[in-house]
Structure 1
Amino acid sequence: MGGKVLLIEFKHVFKKYANQVVAVNDFNIKIQQGEFVYVIGPSGAGKSTFIKMMYREEKPTSGQIKVNDYQLEEIKNSKVPFLRRELGVVFQDFKLLPKLTIFENVAYALQVIEKQPAAIKARVEHVLGLVKLASKAPAFPNELSGGEQQRVAIARAIANEPKILIADEPTGNLDPETAAGIMEILERINQQGTTVVMATHNSHLVNEYRHRVIEIEGGRVIRDQDEGRFFQDEASNF
């Protein structure tokens, strides 16, 4: 991967919860600038813990995690907001602010980092255009469909032009056609240079839009494959 910048690195990372469950067992993973990576595996495999560690929602029990030049096992709590400003995070349940309009929801991400009003307006209009929701700017979240709300969540996540977009089951609650629309947007964001890390159970999307696959089971990485398919046995036939 000559010339690529290493954005995410896990070195011998373990995570053990208080109930002694080992959610992450010796992860050694490198993700380069511009990659699109699926994280797959059954419920309880450790996917969410892995994802949450990237934006320091969870801390490792041991090992080293580096994201965007931040050493996450050493970072002070006061620095975590600065780390998160450099990331975009999209959740399955959207997490939109119900009393703000669509425009205001997206603008909020930029107001937090004290962008100028004119710059905020221009950027919000741009990202709402990217997700094909410019006409919905004055609407409120409850006036939108689930797919539209997820597109707003993506617009908000990329408003600050992050190097990394982390998507945790972004199509989990959506019908197949809407999920494909979300995937097209994530593809376009990736093609513009943003690294995308996406946890998913959606086998169709993984097989249709081929990218690197990291498969986790029982807290271990059991497969890390470029252009992977959803199921290992299928992968061996291609």
Structure 2
Amino acid sequence: MIEYKNVVKEYPNGVLATDHISLKIEQGEFVYVVGPSGAGKSTFIKMMYHQEVPTSGEIKVNEYELEKMKNSEVPYLRRELGIVFQDFKLLPRLTVFENIAYALQVIEKKPEEVQKRVVRVLDLVGLSHKADSFPNELSGGEQQRIAIARAIANKPSILIADEPTGNLDPETAEGIMEIMERINNDGTTVVMATHNSYIVNEYKHRVIEIADGRIIRDQEGGEYEDEISND
């Protein structure tokens, strides 16, 4: 599903964000990407959906060879991915239903399919009763649930989550993780960048730890002790 081969990302200012990273993530895995602030986690994640492009090396996501992609091909890659951000990125003037529907309308899904999928994912995240609410009427945890619903509305093969529990209290974060677990159990590959050691240690999955742009640990069910509370 995802493969990195000797991937280097060096920014114009000389910062080496990833330093010859190689790994493979198989279909259906749940993988945490951990490490301190500035370790290279976000760059590593962003390269999966072509937000960042490697300086050298090869990245393959499903059938796409990302380092060879034309800009015109990027939307097709992203149709196979669901992406969840720490700051939700919901559209403030659209209702919850419309936020999710919009993600399907832009890829030209038929109205009846849009209706069916929105109803289903709202039920999955437990917020069917909030369909007509606007984002500013929701709590942070509810907004993140809607962001997840939007990300999985098109049945992506891979869900990429960049600090999805970063702004949430512990109880709310656990609720988000229960949803992520359910999505993974349905067969979706989940790649989640996080600094939340409690989540990593409570919900056991493969742990990829990055420091100074390098993978320093790749362990199934590994423990994680975060030295820095923020990322």
TM category (shorter chain) comes to over 0.9
1:63 counterpart residue number: 57
Q: Which amino acid aligns with 2:184?
A: N
Quote the RMSD (CA, aligned, Å). 0.8
Give 1:112 shift. 1.1
Deviations 1:78-134 (A, max 9, x none): 110110111000000000000000000001111011111111101100000000000
**Is residue 202 of structure 2 the alignment partner of residue 208 of structure 1?**
yes
Instruction: For 1:206 and 1:28, locate their aligned partners in 2 and report how far apart those are by CA, in whole Å.
Output: 22
Alignment of 1:163-182 (within 5 A): 163-182=157-176
- Normalising to structure 1: TM-score of the pair? 0.94
Deviations 1:128-176 (A, max 9, x none): 0000000000000000000000000000000000000000000000000
**Is residue 150 of structure 2 the alignment partner of residue 156 of structure 1?**
yes
Runs of 4+ in 1 over 2 A off after TM superposition: none
2:36 counterpart residue number: 42
1:31 counterpart residue number: 25
Q: Which amino acid aligns with 1:171?
A: T
**Is residue 225 of structure 2 the alignment partner of residue 231 of structure 1?**
yes
| Percent identity between the two aligned chains | 72
Alignment of 1:1-238 (within 5 A): 7-231=1-225
Secondary structure, counterpart of 2:68 in structure 1: coil
Instruction: For 2:225 and 2:55, locate their aligned partners in 1 and report how far apart those are by CA, in whole Å.
Output: 30
Instruction: For 1:197 and 1:228, locate their aligned partners in 2 and report how far apart those are by CA, in whole Å.
Output: 15
- Normalising to structure 2: TM-score of the pair? 0.97
Number of residues of Structure 1 aligned to a counterpart in Structure 2: 226
Consecutive unaligned residues of structure 2, counting only runs of 5 or more, are: 227-231
**More moved, 177-186 vs 223-232:** 223-232
Give 1:231 shift. 3.4
Instruction: For 2:143 and 2:49, locate their aligned partners in 1 and report how far apart those are by CA, in whole Å.
Output: 22
Secondary structure, counterpart of 1:184 in structure 2: helix
Deviations 1:48-100 (A, max 9, x none): 00000000000000000000110000000011011011100000000000000
Instruction: For 1:95 and 1:209, locate their aligned partners in 2 and report how far apart those are by CA, in whole Å.
Output: 26
